[in-house]
A and B are shown apart, each in its own frame.
Chain A
């Protein structure tokens, strides 16, 4: 527990405890009386007999602060408890029985927010009399709307959960559900808010006291002490500083405790917590030749240091790609295919460690700084992402977004960029490009958006186009159009295309070569038609059988791949696919199979561009599905 809360939390708890104890035991402590004038010489600083000095009338400051804590904490704890007592039942009621109660709560909320609470408190206390009881009641009542809102929200989120719905369906009585299911779950947010509420009340009471409208003299209050001390600022600043610091520390402590408790229950928070970076030694790059080719990836690795352990998202992938060719990278989600693309582009989150080399026309991209990379991203490497719904900035017009790279990279003026954008949109098959430029992304269909993102990727005439699942989020009817468009654009611009997909049968038709990835590694690769027709690795075969085909008979059962994608932190020894493989034998659990080549059907020699697989017991060619052959030709 200690580690989860952090040292600050325990210091805060300690401070609150000390102040609370001092307030409770004030009468037993060896203190001067808080109203004893001339207990020491007036306006003197800290000394042995007066650890925090004396005020203008020679009263002991420490004693006045300790007795002031009785008021501050008394009102704080009392008002919060009272507010909770009134607010919690109302909130639970509103959250559990929605509709009418909900509408009323919202209306009251509107009014409460528009109501100047502090002014109201001032007026009530002034007219009704400034006593501890009145201050406490007013601040408690003013806190009720916030309590109702909080408890209602917490109740709502639980009232919809399965276990409560199930209990309701089973006919469990409401009262029982409330006590056994809802109340325990609402308790934690309520406890966290109680501390934050105390901070709010202590500040509010201080404000009232500062204006002279809390408990009246001679009883000291923190706000009152600060107000009194103001007049002595020039001669004895400690009189105002000491209560200020005490008040600050107390409010800070309440806030801190509340915040930590909230963080415990709030799952969203944890995602935003910065991951502490663990140093990973730089990865050595295997010896290799820089080839005379457009794009060469050599032993690319992407590792993440996570709290659970090292994740090898991409673990040694190599390939080469020529102009006018399409390389498909296939695998389940989590296989590392998207990370491979991001690794090549150098667009990794800060916690990632990259290894290996990437060459563009023999030029080492991995040696470039981020600033140097920017002259390549766009002009030479274009990118299209999976979900066109999230790929465009929702608050900028299509025109602004399409013309931006033209103006940044190609230095076009406003008019030229506009004309070029119109031409680009027309080239990806958008009917009314001039009007399109004025629209916002939410006004477009998914297919249209994907066309726009493709146009943007092409705007600076890249040599390689990376398309990460470009059709996954689209309608089946649109998918084929987009892939056809990519293919046609490849021909027109004489580019190379890297096509990432989880669906082997979709890409096989448009790809020249295929790489199949599993758990960050290449498990099979080769000419697309060959891999598609004669998959050797059981995983590739399973991928093919998991995809529906039009040629399948009606009511044909899709075979899913059993098991789950592997946990990258904790990979099994040997072949990563072994736990899910129907053909696994002892050897698979001991040694990881290397990528080995097969002679092609036409007798072509085994080399880097041939058909390769990583499997100790590859599927014989006969059992591989043959019916895929018809659809693999273009």
Chain B
């Protein structure tokens, strides 16, 4: 039942998001016909192209047409490049996915041990240092952090490439070196959020009766922290992973431009500059679907983490 409910909501959200973005992009000033033919084209040729592209139809009809194609997996054809938007997105998607996954690995891989260490010594020097660090990270815009990391690792030390991308299928080693700086840049903001959340929840959990009783049973602090306290404290963290996915994907737009990665974010920026509506629209849909699916997955993970949710 709850899954069905979520699915209905998911579909509604996607319909609204796609329609809103479709309408907004089309209502904004800037005409693709002008973009293609240039300012000097005759009114006749403009009219003809408009008919060819289906732009003479009312907005709503065009939206439904596009939506129908979307259901069969057809994202349409770019007005500008005359290439299939779907194929373009499919080619770019692996780069963005790898970047997102690597960023989450960086963020969680550091946030969990840091959060645990801070909670164990709440109020001590390490905890205060971590609080200060996460506050600083939260206040660093992603492009500022990226520029600084490039300055340090690529320009000064010259140990990692500043820009460029090697596909996973070409060379694993080069692929990893090209993803490492973008992933750290993107992951650091998340790291700060995750570590703070986990620390706060762990401190609360460690005051629960069942933790004091676990101590009264003579179990070691390490065992209590990792086996007893961590899982009940992970709910906010998991929620944050889902909710922050939107910000993270927004971050890829900047990161991919900054580091010159051929991903979805870069494609969207380029398409915005060339007024390539359908490609932008396709990218927006992909991002929204991704966001909604991740949050759907988060609900499933909840149940695995906390058995009390399973019965609902």
- Cβ of A87 under 8 Å from chain B: no
Are B228 and A396 in contact, CB atoms less than 8 angstroms apart? yes
- Cβ of B82 under 8 Å from chain A: no
Of the stretches A30-38, A203-211, A557-565, the one at the interface is A203-211
* Contact status of A345 and B141, CB under 8 A, knowing A113-B291, A252-B136, A440-B307: no
CB distance from B107 to the nearest CB of A (A): 18
* Most A Cβ at <10 Å: residue of B30, B141, B220: B141
B260-276 with Cβ < 8 A to chain A: 268-269, 272-273, 275
Are A247 and B141 in contact, CB atoms less than 8 angstroms apart? yes
B176-227 with Cβ < 8 A to chain A: 200, 203-204, 208-210, 212-220, 223, 227
Q: Which residues of B contact A118 (CB under 8 A)?
A: 250, 253-254
Task: For the complex, give the distance between the alpha carbons of A246 and B112 in Å.
Answer: 31
* Most B Cβ at <10 Å: residue of A118, A347, A376, A440: A118
Pick the residue among A127, A251, A390, A393 that contacts B30 (CB under 8 A): A127
CB distance from B191 to the nearest CB of A (A): 16
Are A241 and B268 in contact, CB atoms less than 8 angstroms apart? no
Are A409 and B218 in contact, CB atoms less than 8 angstroms apart? yes
Q: Which residues of B contact A456 (CB under 8 A)?
A: 213, 217
Range, interface on chain B: 35 or more
Are A255 and B138 in contact, CB atoms less than 8 angstroms apart? yes
* Contact status of A404 and B140, CB under 8 A, knowing A385-B209, A395-B305: no
* Most B Cβ at <10 Å: residue of A126, A128, A379, A386: A126
CB distance from B231 to the nearest CB of A (A): 5
Are B139 and A248 in contact, CB atoms less than 8 angstroms apart? yes
Task: For the complex, give the distance between the alpha carbons of A76 and B250 in Å.
Answer: 19
Q: Which residues of B contact A326 (CB under 8 A)?
A: none
Are A374 and B220 in contact, CB atoms less than 8 angstroms apart? yes
Range, interface on chain A: 35 or more
Are B210 and A211 in contact, CB atoms less than 8 angstroms apart? no
Are A230 and B250 in contact, CB atoms less than 8 angstroms apart? no
- Cβ of B109 under 8 Å from chain A: no
Task: For the complex, give the distance between the alpha carbons of A251 and B137 in Å.
Answer: 11
* Most A Cβ at <10 Å: residue of B208, B210, B250: B210
Q: Which residues of B contact A227 (CB under 8 A)?
A: 143
* Contact status of A233 and B28, CB under 8 A, knowing A383-B216, A395-B305: no
With A114-B291, A119-B283, A342-B212 already in contact, 8 other A-B pairs whose C-beta atoms are closer than 8 Å? A123-B25, A127-B275, A252-B136, A393-B210, A395-B231, A395-B306, A396-B228, A457-B217
Chain B residues with a Cβ under 8 A of chain A:
9, 12-14, 16-17, 20-21, 24-25, 28-30, 122-124, 127, 135-136, 138-144, 147-148, 150-151, 155, 200, 203-204, 208-210, 212-220, 223, 227-228, 231-232, 243, 246, 249-250, 253-254, 257-258, 268-269, 272-273, 275, 280, 283-284, 287-288, 291-292, 305-308, 311
Q: Give me 19 A-to-B residue pairs in the complex whose CB atoms sit less than 8 angstroms apart, sorted by A's number.
A: A111-B13, A111-B16, A114-B14, A114-B291, A117-B250, A127-B29, A127-B272, A207-B143, A230-B147, A244-B147, A272-B200, A274-B123, A377-B215, A377-B216, A383-B217, A387-B209, A394-B307, A395-B231, A456-B213
Chain A residues with a Cβ under 8 A of chain B:
107, 110-111, 113-120, 122-124, 126-129, 199, 203, 206-207, 210-211, 223, 226-227, 229-230, 233-234, 237, 240-241, 244, 247-248, 251-252, 255-256, 259, 272-276, 342, 345, 347, 371, 373-379, 381, 383, 385-387, 390-396, 404-405, 408-409, 440, 442, 453, 456-457, 466
